[in-house]
Structure 1
Amino acid sequence: MLSADVDGTYLVRKYLVKQHADRNSDYAVRYQVDVAQLSSTLAGNARQLDDLQAFIDKVSQDKSLRVTGVTITGYASPDGPYAPNERLARKRATDFRNYVDSRYRLSASYPVTVSAVVDEWRAAVPAVEASSIPSKQEVLQILNGSDKATVKEMRLKRLPAAWNYMRQHILPPMRHVEMAFTYDKSSVVTERTPIPLPEVEPVIHATYILVDDQPDGLIIDMDEFDCTCTM
């Protein structure tokens, strides 16, 4: 409870209510093949960075928002050896963390977690299904199969037209960094409760008549009470 005050005949209480929003603001920037340095002009990066700037500005101005954590995940496409791809993905995540730290000092203000992911070939399925890639059904069969990643890549390269399409349209978006914020949003709720009024005792007005005056005392005759109750 923030406060409790009296307003006329009402007791006014104010409460701070917190609502948790999980990963409610996500941003993604793309990286070039075999590159771990951010380019603001690549693909839709400029718009994503502008949106990130807008969110940071909102957090700094809106006191009801409290960032509880930041997650930065670097990704690499599945083509090529796994170990170098994993290192590349981690370098991308670190590069982007350095970028946001240099601009917004996020690591100094919030808990920041950095991780790396090498996408599996199966992760390309939605993009392939929505595309006009040659030999689509054969490509999907390879992607959804149980072969090892190296075998899948070898089989895809045996489909030159499909492989060239994947290199140009499917694989590039998989080389990216995602950034997610978790934060609490609080709001003030006001409760107004009527204050009970105290009960008022009735006031009794009596009429007294002196009927006799004797040495040993007074005899008083009282007529009916005239009882008036006031509130």
Structure 2
Amino acid sequence: MKKLFYILTVFAGFAGASLQAQTVSPDGIAYSDLQVEKQGSQVTMSTVANLNNLQLKSQNMVILTPLLQSADKAHVIRFNPFVITGRARMKALDREIGFGNNPFEQEPVVVFRHKKNQAESIPVTLTTPYESWMRNASLVMEANTTGCASCDVASNITPLSSRILPPLVTPTYELSYVVPPAEPVKQRSETHSAYLNFEVGKSVLLHDFKNNAAELSSVNKIVNEVRNDKNLKFTEFNITGYASPEGGYDYNMKLSENRAKAFATYMKDKENLPASLLKVNWEGEDWIGLRHAIKESNLADRDKILEILNISDINKRKAQLRALNGGRTYRMLLDDYYPSLRRIDYTLAYIARPFDVNEAKQVIKTKPQYLSLNEMFLVANTYPKESPEFKEVFDIAVRLYPTDPVAQQNTAALEIERGATDAGIKRLEAINTPEAWNNLGVAYAKKKEYQQALEYFTKASNAGVEAATQNKNALSQWLDEQ
């Protein structure tokens, strides 16, 4: 071992967090300006050991060994020591080293000869590769004082920091809520069915025939609700007539036409609907309605009926239905399924006026269909995001606008925010917008699928979503600090 010289390495320019002002050891050494910095895979710690109050006998030596240790002491790093000697001990060290003896278990960073009553300090700089356990590690200084012949005199441990690095805080991510575009004209419509009875083969609408009075009363109530609402402008009353498929095709087509026109005449004459609002259509036999009803049923021969309904030739279709199961199935269809096909559908079209946010907060409770998505969004933003009212508005929006991507996206954002991450992902996978990509990034980050999260954040950031840029940077920095 070479002769140890009086060496001091000056440490400057360390940019880190100062963890404490000053700590004084039992032997009078004062440690100050402790700073810690993690850069990439390296952790650097620095402090200054002030020796002004150290009372060291001429023949004694203090070996200062910095220790970095985990809370459970399972991990310990012993750094190279800093050695402070008295005058006589320094001479003895020089002789010992001159004879080729190494008195130290670890090579000292510096051997410093202490001079009494002088201002002295040693800058201490420690660097080590980062490991995750260091987040909760403490830094202490072990001091062992020996006298002549290396006999132990005293020892102590001085805590410099109970935790060198702050705990990792999981990033918070910003979800994208999209403001729906304003709707210049809020055109709305609602469709209802009237199951009116006519005498066999006839198309005269009799008010008091069978249950017609009740059906027409229901129509009256629905129509008056729209035309008497000052918030609405009634624009169209569209009528479509249907018939059940027994009998001849052309006959049923004409029957559905005549009965639709009879209903239109009734609405014009008895309900005083202007002729300009009335639009009359007819579809004849309602095979679509029958197919849907059979598909939703649990009939024993359901699949066979559906197979027959797919026959393109209507006459063959009808013949096979009549013959199925010895005619028993057809009689069941006539009794249980055909009556609901004999109906008139009517659609009321109207325009809803614009509402300010205070009006909209009341309208959404009773007639939410009168509101645009934009108006609903403004209502939602009057409530805290964590409130049940905020969630309720988005639930209403997605129920009334189930195919609208903005409604779906905002509902997905709320689901992710409230922990229903998988439900949010399922909604968003069908939406191809930058804001949806950002929200998918948030969802996957919450699921700890960080690589996929970064891919979505990057994609959304490149498309100009500012929140995605912030989310990507926060996640990247957090991953770097692991």
Q: TM-score per shorter chain, which class? A: 0.5 to 0.7
Return closer, same or farther for 1:48/1:31 CA change in 2, 3 Å cut-off.
closer
Q: CA deviation at 1:188?
A: 5.0
Report the residue type matching 2:342 in the other structure: R
TM-score normalised over the length of structure 1: 0.64
Which of 186, 189, 207 aligns to 1:20? It is 186
Q: What's 1:141 paired with?
A: 307
Which of 174, 183, 196 aligns to 1:30? It is 196
- 5+ residue gaps, structure 2: 1-182, 358-482
- Quote the Cα distance in structure 2 between the aligned partners of 1:41 and 1:18: 44
Which of 251, 263, 273 aligns to 1:84? It is 251
Q: What's 2:242 paired with?
A: 75
- Quote the Cα distance in structure 1 between the aligned partners of 2:227 and 2:286: 38
- Quote the Cα distance in structure 1 between the aligned partners of 2:220 and 2:287: 33
Q: What's 1:51 paired with?
A: 218
Q: What's 2:319 paired with?
A: 154
Return closer, same or farther for 1:40/1:140 CA change in 2, 3 Å cut-off.
farther
Q: What's 2:9 paired with?
A: none
Asked whether the equivalents of residues 197 and 211 of structure 2 are also in contact (C-alpha less than 8 Å), the reply is no
Query: C-alpha offsets along residues 33-85 of structure 1, whole Å, 9 cap, x if unaligned?
Result: 53423355678755543332223333443222111111111111223222211
Deviates more, 1:97-106 or 1:155-164: 97-106
Query: C-alpha offsets along residues 132-158 of structure 1, whole Å, 9 cap, x if unaligned?
Result: 545322212111x23311101001111
- Quote the Cα distance in structure 2 between the aligned partners of 1:62 and 1:170: 36
Asked whether the equivalents of residues 78 and 149 of structure 1 are also in contact (C-alpha less than 8 Å), the reply is no
Q: What's 2:289 paired with?
A: 123
Return closer, same or farther for 1:18/1:45 CA change in 2, 3 Å cut-off.
farther
Return closer, same or farther for 1:25/1:116 CA change in 2, 3 Å cut-off.
closer
Q: What's 1:111 paired with?
A: 277
Q: CA deviation at 1:92?
A: 0.5
Q: CA deviation at 1:31?
A: 3.4
Asked whether the equivalents of residues 31 and 37 of structure 1 are also in contact (C-alpha less than 8 Å), the reply is no
Question: Identity of counterpart residues, as a percentage?
Answer: 23
Return closer, same or farther for 1:135/1:27 CA change in 2, 3 Å cut-off.
closer
Q: What's 1:165 paired with?
A: 332
For 1:203-218, what aligned pairs fall within 5 Å after superposition?
Answer: none
Q: What's 2:473 paired with?
A: none
Q: What's 2:260 paired with?
A: 93
Higher helix share: 2
Report the residue type matching 1:156 in the other structure: L
Q: What's 1:217 paired with?
A: none
Return closer, same or farther for 1:30/1:129 CA change in 2, 3 Å cut-off.
farther
Q: CA deviation at 1:102?
A: 1.8
- Quote the Cα distance in structure 2 between the aligned partners of 1:128 and 1:70: 30
Asked whether the equivalents of residues 74 and 92 of structure 1 are also in contact (C-alpha less than 8 Å), the reply is yes
Q: What's 2:232 paired with?
A: 65
- Quote the Cα distance in structure 1 between the aligned partners of 2:289 and 2:223: 30
- Quote the Cα distance in structure 2 between the aligned partners of 1:166 and 1:42: 24
Deviates more, 1:75-84 or 1:122-131: 122-131
- 5+ residue gaps, structure 1: 1-16, 191-231
SS at match of 1:62: coil
Higher strand share: 1
Q: What's 1:202 paired with?
A: none
Query: C-alpha offsets along residues 79-118 of structure 1, whole Å, 9 cap, x if unaligned?
Result: 322221111111000110111112222134x421111112
- Quote the Cα distance in structure 1 between the aligned partners of 2:294 and 2:206: 26
Return closer, same or farther for 1:18/1:46 CA change in 2, 3 Å cut-off.
farther
Query: C-alpha offsets along residues 184-224 of structure 1, whole Å, 9 cap, x if unaligned?
Result: 0114549xxxxxxxxxxxxxxxxxxxxxxxxxxxxxxxxxx
Asked whether the equivalents of residues 236 and 348 of structure 2 are also in contact (C-alpha less than 8 Å), the reply is yes
- Quote the Cα distance in structure 2 between the aligned partners of 1:84 and 1:97: 20
Query: C-alpha offsets along residues 106-131 of structure 1, whole Å, 9 cap, x if unaligned?
Result: 134x4211111123534312212344
Q: CA deviation at 1:181?
A: 0.9
For the aligned residues, what is the CA RMSD? 2.9
Asked whether the equivalents of residues 18 and 184 of structure 1 are also in contact (C-alpha less than 8 Å), the reply is no
- Quote the Cα distance in structure 2 between the aligned partners of 1:42 and 1:139: 33
